[in-house]
Amino acid sequence: MGIALTGSERLPELVGLALRSGNSKRAHLLVSTVLGKHVPQRPAVVHGAGLELGRRVRGLLGEEAAARAVVLGYAETATGLGHSVADGLDAPYLHSTRRPVPGVAPLGGFEEEHSHATSHLLLPADPELLTGDGPLVLVDDELSTGRTILNTIRDLHARHPRGHYVVVALVDLRTPADRDRLADAAAGLGVRLDVVATADGGVELPEDVIARAERLTAATETPDLPPSATPAPLVRVALDWPAGLPDGGRHGFTVHDRARLDAALPRLARQTAEALPADARRVLVLGFEELMYAPLRLAGALAERLGGDRVRYSTTTRSPVLAVDDPGYPIRTRLAFPAHDDPQDPSSRERYAYNVAPGSDPSRRFDAVVLVVDDVADTPALHRGERALLGRLRQVTDRVVLAVLPSYQPVAAGGAGPEGGDPAAGGATGSGATAGGATGVPLYGPGFSSYRADEVAWLLKDLSGVALEAPTEEREEAVQNGGAHYAESLPVEYQPSPEYQDLFQQALHGSARRIALAVGTVAETLLRERGPGLVLASLARAGTPVGILIRRWLAFAHGLSVPHYAVSIVRGRGIDPVALRYLAAHHRAGDVVFVDGWTGKGAITRELADALAGTAFDPDLAVLADPGRCVRTYGTRDDFLIPSACLNSTVSGLVSRTVLRPGLIGPDDFHGAKHYAELAGSDVSEAFLDAVAAHFDAVRAGALQGADRLSADQDRAPDWAGWAAVERISAEYGIDSVNLVKPGVGETTRVLLRRVPWRILARRGAGADLDHVRLLAAQRGVEVEEVDGLPYTCVGLIHPRYSRGATGADGRSVTTAAEEKQ
């Protein structure tokens, strides 16, 4: 090729030369041996290279100026190097990024002309990070022309001028003209500019280097790996990452953050080591593009724990490079795989891992690879098929360990309650919400509901001062005689007896861990498939505790603060259109996930799909339990007791079921509901949430495994087996309408609490899950009939005497065969 390195003696120790693929701006690539990007290296060497540079900068600045310095690293290659420099300088750190983050506005940006991917964004959680007057230290792996540095300085100096900039690089390869250009620019801005590099020199390039490179890369085919007959096992390790600790410098990393990470590293290394084969002699910790620093520090702690010379470190990259399996060439093997983090740049859909496969040299083979990604990148595209990254890694090693870190999400600025923004909506908008039910304005606790303001925003109209309750039998007959809709009135709130309250507590104690596992499975699945920008919309009211639990899980496991709204859906009338307009105005419709507690036969699932047809909203409903087999995203398909089904408002934030009644709800109003503040003495809403959340840590590994199984399940499509079973039961008991058959523990409980039950069918041998059902049935004088072959734990049948009051598919009266026979 006629390309040669010139300069200091250390230069050949630090870099090698390779050819880029598909880059018309630059033919060659300097492959660093100490950066930990393309070439696996000892983590102490990689971290040490940055520490050395940081200490040199500290000596240059002096203690007083160093205490005011901020370090800025460049994506993607220098994010780890910049962070290591910040460690040596003991300064706060930020790196540029090519990943837009929903809800975080860029503070600035700049271009990198020669790179494969050019646009850089600056997304500090604290905008003040770049507004000080101390020195700004800019870190890149190589200083080739200085244009990227100059673009950065001009952009930032125009926003927040400062008097001193320091440029840091492993290698400085600028020509004299490039050096003069940068010096002249600094003089023009009236600033001091220093350059600190480990080695300097130059690259000699022939004039036709681009054409030569194109011919050579076209003639040299990079061999692909043959599929392995027996892929290596994949093990997921649940790292106990400190809550709220940033996973890198995308949004800033403080000196305090560094201390927290240092304290956690021995624990993280121990957890990682326990997932490795006991006899592993060569282990690679593989980071992910910009996520370089956390995997590097984990690799260093793992090396200390394992001892010897057993651990190497590198990361995946967007840069396409020619691979040639020759000892004299730095890029010997290449694994190409599809991007798995929903890249914004459509031209960058393929990613690469270099020198991970052993090639022709078996001594280069790794016994285990620990892949470290953030949760944004833990998507189905990471897992599916042999060509996915995990599939590729499983072909070249004996075990793959997957460690997923929570991607840090900055908390939006704003107040701690509705007056300072929309806390349950992630602080995204200043809605000015107040309790009182103004049109189109969310409601919050404690003014409306007993839930905290940050747990949920209720898209409802407050009807607390309106008398809407009627005894159950009167309510059924009113619907029958006047053709009224069930949502136009409310049942009298059930007041649980002491015996029933004891049963609720027993049920909660016995099933809290199981519920926590279902919550975690659903939350992890949603995060993988919908991303960290998801917006929860629970179906009020039974779905609302579930929405809060999913929100709590995402905060616990990933440091996320996701928006959560409660919205009304009414059978026969659809979902609240005013609430949909509010969601569409404040969020991207595709990010909204509708959440409920459980499915029965699937009537609400169908209602939701019908209501959202033709909109941009996704109709897929997520539930904890799907015994009806009518949704794709669920924690379990077992029919078990979710204790919140045992009670009404006293386990749902003291909020009634929703109301849609002409004269009360206008065309621009949310659907309505009441807040039963007078029942505060019986309220167990918060106790239910806390009892379940207390098990989150214990079920975390199981939830990740459950999400793995669900994501890998090729047969997740609903088969509506529950609906078919209900049709069979309807025919067997002479009931024409399936709407009089309420399958499952949750729906049967509702029949006993709200309706006029006829009889209860219980699966023979059903145990403690039905204790509360048996007690309620005895209180209502209803027969419990044990039957064989029941697909649900129990089924509630509404009394045929009141069948016209029972609601049909449109929410109005129906006539049954049983009634006609009478």
Instruction: Please tell me the distance from the alpha carbon of residue 433 to that of residue 448, in angstroms, as a whole number.
Output: 11
Question: Where residue 229 falls among pLDDT bands split at 50, 70, 90?
Answer: low
Say how many C-beta atoms besides its own lie within 10 A of residue 821's C-beta.
Answer: 8
Query: 89-93, 408-412, 525-529: which range is least confident on average?
Result: 408-412
Question: Where residue 228 falls among pLDDT bands split at 50, 70, 90?
Answer: low
Instruction: Please tell me the distance from the alpha carbon of residue 604 to that of residue 486, in angstroms, as a whole number.
Output: 15
Mean pLDDT of all residues in 695-712: 93
Instruction: Please tell me the distance from the alpha carbon of residue 411 to that of residue 125, in angstroms, as a whole number.
Output: 8
Question: Where residue 822 falls among pLDDT bands split at 50, 70, 90?
Answer: very low
Q: Identify the residue whose tokens are 């039910």.
A: 437
List, for residues 154-190, the tens digit of each pLDDT value: 988 988 899 999 999 999 999 999 999 999 999 999 9
Question: Where residue 223 falls among pLDDT bands split at 50, 70, 90?
Answer: low
List, for residues 328-348, the tens digit of each pLDDT value: 899 999 999 999 886 554 445
Mean pLDDT of all residues in 398-415: 75
Dihedral, CA atoms, 73, 78, 82, 83, nearest 10 degrees? 110
Mean pLDDT of all residues in 264-279: 94
Query: 38-47, 405-414, 500-509, 726-735: which range is least confident on average?
Result: 405-414
List, for residues 668-691, the tens digit of each pLDDT value: 899 999 999 998 988 999 999 999
pLDDT confidence of residue 116: 43
DSSP class per residue in 525-542? HHHHHH-TT-EEEEETTT
Instruction: Please tell me the distance from the alpha carbon of residue 220 to that of residue 323, in angstroms, as a whole number.
Output: 9
b/e map 177-210, b = 16+ CB within 10 Å: ebbebbeebbeebebebebbbbbbbbbebeeebb
Instruction: Please tell me the distance from the alpha carbon of residue 737 to that of residue 797, in angstroms, as a whole number.
Output: 11
Instruction: Please tell me the distance from the alpha carbon of residue 338 to that of residue 379, in angstroms, as a whole number.
Output: 11
User: CA 273, 277, 281: angle at the middle one, nearest 5?
Assistant: 90
Instruction: Please tell me the distance from the alpha carbon of residue 135 to that of residue 417, in angstroms, as a whole number.
Output: 38
DSSP class per residue in 381-404? HHHSSTTSHHHHHTTTSS-EEEEE
Question: Where residue 225 falls among pLDDT bands split at 50, 70, 90?
Answer: low
Question: Quick one: what percent of the chain has pLDDT higher than 70?
Answer: 87
Question: Quick one: what percent of the chain has pLDDT higher than 90?
Answer: 47
Residue 409 has pLDDT above 70, yes or no: yes
b/e map 620-651, b = 16+ CB within 10 Å: bbbbbbbbbbbbebbbbeebbbbbbbbbbbbb
Residue 414 has pLDDT above 70, yes or no: no
List, for residues 495-550, the tens digit of each pLDDT value: 777 877 787 888 788 889 999 999 999 999 999 988 888 899 999 988 999 999 99
Mean pLDDT of all residues in 415-434: 36
Residue 417 has pLDDT above 70, yes or no: no
Q: Which two tokens stand for residue 408?
A: 């840090």
Instruction: Please tell me the distance from the alpha carbon of residue 50 to that of residue 45, in angstroms, as a whole number.
Output: 9
List, for residues 379-395, the tens digit of each pLDDT value: 878 887 788 999 999 99
pLDDT confidence of residue 422: 45
Q: Higher-confidence residue: 643 or 315?
A: 315
Q: Higher-confidence residue: 628 or 36?
A: 36
Instruction: Please tell me the distance from the alpha carbon of residue 23 to that of residue 210, in angstroms, as a whole number.
Output: 9
Give the closest residue to 614 by CA, choosing from 577, 586, 578: 577
List, for residues 447-498, the tens digit of each pLDDT value: 899 998 889 999 999 999 888 886 665 555 554 444 556 677 787 776 777 8
Question: Where residue 595 falls among pLDDT bands split at 50, 70, 90?
Answer: very high
Phi, psi for residue 740 in degrees, rounded to 5: -90, -5
Mean pLDDT of all residues in 780-808: 74
User: CA 672, 678, 680: angle at the middle one, nearest 5?
Assistant: 100
Give the closest residue to 625 by CA, choosing from 599, 644, 646: 599
Q: In whole numbers, what is the pLDDT of the chain averaged over residues?
A: 85
Give the closest residue to 173 by CA, choosing from 329, 4, 3, 6: 6
**Crossing angle between the packed helical segments 498-530 and 696-712, to the nearest 10 degrees:** 50
pLDDT confidence of residue 725: 85
pLDDT confidence of residue 259: 94
Mean pLDDT of all residues in 103-132: 72
pLDDT confidence of residue 503: 72
pLDDT confidence of residue 54: 98
Q: Which helix (H) or strand (E) holds 469?
A: strand 469-470
Alpha helix segments (H runs only) across 43-127: 43-61, 63-66, 79-89
Residue 776 has pLDDT above 80, yes or no: yes
Residue 271 has pLDDT above 90, yes or no: yes
pLDDT confidence of residue 772: 81
Instruction: Please tell me the distance from the alpha carbon of residue 58 to that of residue 584, in angstroms, as a whole number.
Output: 50
Q: Are 77 and 314 in contact (CB under 8 A)?
A: no
List, for residues 51-79, the tens digit of each pLDDT value: 999 999 999 999 999 999 999 999 989 99
Mean pLDDT of all residues in 193-222: 83
pLDDT confidence of residue 141: 94
Q: How far is CA 661 from CA 479, 487, 678, in A?
A: 13, 7, 24
Q: Output DSSP code: residue 424.
A: G
pLDDT confidence of residue 205: 81
